Structure 1
Amino acid sequence: MVLLFKEELMANLALSVVATVGLVWVGQFPGWTFKSLFGCVFAVNFGVQLFWDVLIYPYFVSPLRNLPRVPGMVSQLTILMDTPRGRLPLQWMRDIPNDGLIHFRGAFNASYLIATNHQALLDIMSTNTYDFEKPWKAREFLARIIGFGLILSEGNAHRVQRKALTPAFNIKNIRALYGLMWDKTNVLLGELEKEARANPMEGMSSGNSGKVEMTVWASRLTLDVIGPVAMGRDFQSITHKENKVADSFLAILEPSREKLVFLGVNFVFPQWFARLIPGMGRLHKVIDDETGYLRRVCHEIVREKRIALKTQKVDTQELEADILGTIMLRGEFSDDELVDQMLTFLAAGHETTASALTWACYLLCLYPDVQERLRQEIHATIPSSTSQVTWNQLESMPLLNGVCQEVLRLYPTVPATVREAIRDTIVAGTSVPRGTRITLCPYATNRSPHFWGATGEEFIPERWIDTDEKGNKTVNHHGGAPTNFAQITFLHGQRSCIGKDFARAELRCAVAGVVGRFAMEMQDPNQEIHIAGAVTTKPREGMHLKMTTMEGW
């Protein structure tokens, strides 16, 4: 709502002061004190502004008034608290005819938009990217967890940071990491076998089958990959169950309903006010304690690298072995800024793939025929888990690529995000006033019938597979969609995820290793899995699998 913006209130205050001084100057209202006269004038100004913002502007003046609209009032909190997050926008995309924008009204008739087609998504994420920013309340809260790194920076600060960090994520560097990713995947396979043997299914003796909860293992694997890549630190969380770094991320990102409510409160209210709300104190303490610990770890690693650099204990090539060393050599960031970047890479760099690996296991349990065909493809390409793999092997397997792409499409790690116009701009041919908030919803866009037809919500890895003139199966990267904006799991343009190729490579390794070594089933085939999570997407119930070791691989 326009009058809720600080500048609008300040304008009202200034106008009231001027009006009151003028009335006193000309001698009107004798006997009134300045205070009472000011209060009266301010109330009138405020009331007029309220009348304009709520009853006149939205219906008769706003350039958004004629857009296709969702009936009734829908708050952003409703979308945030929806399960799964993105269900309502997908329903609107399916049911409301539109030309790229759907309009809905929140409290006090404030206008909100949802982008639905190629042109709208192109304008927001590419053409007019820097006309939009993440709302300050959301940024302020998320910065407590991941710092003001690349994800939360805006404007020129973002341009500078992205330019400095992009070289570390070129495709040549990513492909050089496949060896590390495969080695860590093999460590995971060994631990999964141990857990399965130690937890046989009821009525079965200990053997090559057993129970495994996959979400925690997926998170530990990806943490042990991003640690060496981002900062040269192997956390060894796969082999050390008592691992404070892994436990801290688990405590922060636990997919509970309570955490989702907590997120909503902190996105809607200023931090100082959110801390005063009864019942939220425990979660604020969890965030403060765990992020405080993670920040101290990152500061320690930065300090160690600074000392090594000053004393010339490491050469340039050794320092450039990880992202932190690479950007330290450029000399463009202070230590606090480096810590913010490390927190961002640690959180985003391992949570994206951990979530995707968990959902990949789930989908392959639901589609055992796909799981079996994928295993055959993996065994035909990679002789054993201990064989060295090449990037070409992993990137050229059609079904592996198709499964990973479908997982990322159907279960985006961040199912919805919000942008706010910081100036008047144009989206899909419509004038969008400054202050308007637009929802980008990967969960809905990635399943939208506008892009994917009637099968948009179905798991069909084959949509990512072509057949060449010789009848050979080959990888495609579009899934049959008419535009690359049909899948926005990693967004696009200047604000796209800088680590998207890293995440895809890591997911290929992890899925190839797990499916190659194990046959998977749900422990309870009748269990209903709910898409939950506060910041990221996780199964509320966890992912409880029966895993059977495939001998000889």
Structure 2
Amino acid sequence: MAEVRSGISENLRTLADLPCPQGLPGLGNFFQLAPAKLHLTLEEWAAKLGSPFRVQLGTIPMTVWTQAELFQTVMRERPNRYRRFAPIESVMAELGGNGLFSAEGAAWEPQRRLVMQALSISNIKSFYPTLAAITERLRARLQRASSEGRTVEMTDELKRYTVDVTSALAFGEDPHTLEQQHGVIQEHLALIPPALMRRVVALFPYWRYVKLPRDRRLDQAVVEIHKYVHKMIERARDRMQALPGGSPRNLLEAMLLARELPDSTVTDEQIVANVLTLLVAGEDTTANSIAWAVMYLAADTDLQFRMFEHSRGVLGQSTVCPSYDALKHLDLCEGVCNEALRLRPVAAIQTFEPLTDVCLGGVAVPAGTRMLFLTRPAMLDPQNFVHPESFNPDRWRHPHDPSDGAHELRAYLTFGAGPRVCPGRHLANVEMRLVMSMLTAHFKVAMAVDPASIKEVSAFTMVPSEMPVKLQARA
């Protein structure tokens, strides 16, 4: 069991005792940590140095960890003993997006309550007809591409889908980006995660003094995003005035009502920040998760046929899953996505820092020390998952028999853990089952490039460099 306590003991290792890759005088490992390859570099060093180890960003030490049990310990102790990197909060505040994801302290809890209520199982169940309709629009869009013989950039298509879903559920309006070709909000949202990655690991905030071309593009995108968000808020207020006195119908209305309560701690800035946060998070993580699953699906024709039979058996004559209750029968679809996320975790790095001096895993960690937790090594550890190198979606489908080998769910770190576990995990699972069943029921999928050419890119989340596919309609 992980040991965590305040104070420093003579028997503990210090940060200086931890192994560290050789770097440059004064700069440390800064030039070895290219933001786009950060998770790959750290995973390579973890394999050589063990866990934990230390890297240096100039004079700033960062500790890197891979043990699932220590990750679970830290997540259980949030938000009282640990927080996310402080730079994440400051950078998100600069972008006007310091919402639930990055908020800390007293600002976190009221936002969490509102978001958890909006993304609850009961709300998603009542929202299901809209979810199914948006999935049908995605099917029609893919059908057109198939009939025209066009290559589909799957990540882009899925981002349109997830933005439409998130906007309809959380904000009460559907932007219908699946019916548009250009000028959609995703084109601006796409600039935020990589910029966040670059700025969080920067030695100093250069962008406050000198604007590079990519910083000017980001500034322009943020202006457009905030225009979009403010117009959405104005329309929500108009709808509420037209129908006064009713219960809030979505997260945005709930936040606007909470803002008007006596002694409310919800501010206009928090409302804007949470709209932006949900747009970015709802678009990016789920879309890329499904895209990685599509890559594995395309590589295995036998699995595709199994998925076709499995999905068609549940869908029957419907073009998409006919009801919320029918989703529970699509366990193979979810198993494929779970297995893809085990091998290609979108949340490949989780960042924390302790609020007080702590002992973690026999190491004295002073308050404010930056801590990076790598999620993939634990999921590739044979002590946690039998034959971890194999893509085997069936490992997720049945109650686990210990004689089958290791299957340690606590080492599956995709959605986090503890009080700040991902609030959108149920919605993500619903979207995964809906999209994968629709896709395999209607299409054969083939990669349009060699899968070996698809690179993993750290853009705050871990995303594919591309995901072009060819779709052939099934008879």
Select which of 291, 316, 323 maps to 2:222.
291
Shift of 1:244: 3.3
Q: Which runs of 5+ in 2 are unaligned?
A: 1-9
Select which of 38, 43, 52 maps to 1:90.
43
Work out the CA distance in 2 between the residues paired with 1:135 and 1:518.
43
Work out the CA distance in 1 between the residues paired with 2:306 and 2:79.
42
Shift of 1:419: 1.4
Work out the CA distance in 2 between the residues paired with 1:244 and 1:465.
37
Matched, 1:464 2:414: no
Work out the CA distance in 1 between the residues paired with 2:60 and 2:381.
26
Aligned to 2:3: none
Alpha-carbon deviations, 1:42-92, whole Å to 9, x = none?
A: xxxxxxxxxxxxxxxxxx998425866345347367455363x43344345
Further displaced range: 370-379 or 126-135: 126-135
Q: Any residues of structure 2 matched to 1:155-194 within 5 Å, and which?
A: 155-194=105-144
Shift of 1:282: 1.4
Shift of 1:492: 0.9
Shift of 1:410: 2.3
Shift of 1:517: 1.1
Cα-Cα RMSD: 3.1
Alpha-carbon deviations, 1:352-373, whole Å to 9, x = none?
A: 1111121111111122221211
**Secondary structure at the residue paired with 1:86?**
helix
Select which of 402, 407, 418 maps to 1:481.
407
Select which of 228, 233, 243 maps to 1:302.
233
Q: Any residues of structure 2 matched to 1:451-530 within 5 Å, and which?
A: 451-453=384-386, 455-466=387-398, 480-484=406-410, 486-525=411-450, 528-530=453-455
Q: What's the TM-score, normalizing by structure 1?
A: 0.75
Aligned to 1:264: 198
Aligned to 1:329: 257
Q: Any residues of structure 2 matched to 1:92-107 within 5 Å, and which?
A: 92-96=45-49, 101-107=51-57
Aligned to 1:222: 162
Which letter does structure 1 place at the counterpart of 2:251? I
2:358 and 2:366 in contact (8 A); partners too: yes
Distance 1:249 1:128, change over 3 A: closer
Q: Which runs of 4+ in 1 moved over 6 A?
A: none
Aligned to 2:4: none
Aligned to 1:233: 173
Matched, 1:538 2:466: no
2:359 and 2:365 in contact (8 A); partners too: yes
Which letter does structure 2 place at the counterpart of 1:324? L
Select which of 291, 313, 331 maps to 2:243.
313
Aligned to 2:286: 353
Q: Any residues of structure 2 matched to 1:16-165 within 5 Å, and which?
A: 63-64=13-14, 69-73=19-23, 75=29, 78-79=32-33, 81=35, 83=37, 85-96=38-49, 101-107=51-57, 110-127=60-77, 129-145=79-95, 147-165=97-115
Which letter does structure 2 place at the counterpart of 1:282? P
Which letter does structure 2 place at the counterpart of 1:238? L
Q: Which runs of 5+ in 1 are unaligned?
A: 1-59, 201-209, 254-258, 470-475
Select which of 359, 377, 384 maps to 1:444.
377
1:137 and 1:268 in contact (8 A); partners too: no
Distance 1:160 1:78, change over 3 A: farther
2:46 and 2:53 in contact (8 A); partners too: no
Distance 1:76 1:314, change over 3 A: farther
In the alignment of these two chains, the number of paired residues is 457
Distance 1:65 1:354, change over 3 A: closer
Alpha-carbon deviations, 1:201-241, whole Å to 9, x = none?
A: xxxxxxxxx42221211111111111111111211100011
Aligned to 1:10: none
Q: What's the TM-score, normalizing by structure 2?
A: 0.86
Shift of 1:121: 1.3
**Secondary structure at the residue paired with 1:451?**
coil
Distance 1:411 1:526, change over 3 A: closer
Tell me which structure has the larger Cα radius of gyration. Answer: 1
